[in-house]
Amino acid sequence: MADVATALAPGIVVVEDNGTGPFSETVRSGVHVLAADEPVAKGGNDTGPDPYAYLLAGLGACTAMTLRMYARQKKWPLEKVRVQLQHDKIHAADCESCETKEGKVDRIQRTIELEGPLDDEQRKRLMEIADRCPVHRTLTSEILIQTSAR
């Protein structure tokens, strides 16, 4: 494994086996070192969040940060943001707004709690802004993942 004290360039994430279990991974980003694993029920050791938890964490963090930046720019009294997320798969036929009509589709449920003396219009606007966070836009747009071997 590479020296974890060495910072990675911005935008680079490296994930590699750490040898502690069948699915245990070390995740490095910048100077940060994280763990990823699968739960025991899926054959892992549960030494860290699973990949979907990291996906949700990215969306949740981006949502909260975007709302904070917007409220700060507008000088609105947003005191605290809490974003709760859950991922599951549902039958496509049960999703009226989905283009896919067969099989299953991924569903992310996001609940946003805003604390502070915000008026109704400010709260409404912040909920609209939540859908504009960069990670939300990435997840809801066309994505090209290019894979290469070394």
Place 1 in a pLDDT band, splitting at 50, 70 and 90: very low
| Residue 5 banded pLDDT, cuts 50, 70, 90 | low
List, in order of start, the domains of the chain with CATH numbers.
Answer: 1-49 (no CATH), 51-139 (3.30.300.20)
Per-residue b/e over 93-123, b at no fewer than 16 CB within 10 Å? eeeeeeeeeeeebeebeeebebeeebeeebe
| Beta bridge partners of residue 79, listed in sequence order | none
Task: Read off the pLDDT band of 6 (50, 70, 90).
Answer: confident
Q: Which of 27-36, 44-53, 94-103 has the lowest mean pLDDT?
A: 94-103
Residue 4 banded pLDDT, cuts 50, 70, 90: low
Mean pLDDT of 95-112: 90
Q: What's the whole-number mean pLDDT along residues 40-60?
A: 97
Residue 99 has pLDDT above 90, yes or no: no
Residue 98 has pLDDT above 80, yes or no: yes
**Which residue do the tokens 């605290």 mark?**
80
Query: What does pTM read for this prediction?
Result: 0.90
* Mean pLDDT, rounded, for 41-54: 97
66 and 51 Cβ atoms separated by less than 8 Å = no
Whether the Cβ atoms of residue 20 and residue 1 lie closer than 8 Å to each other: no
Q: What proportion of the chain, given as a percentage, has pLDDT over 90?
A: 86
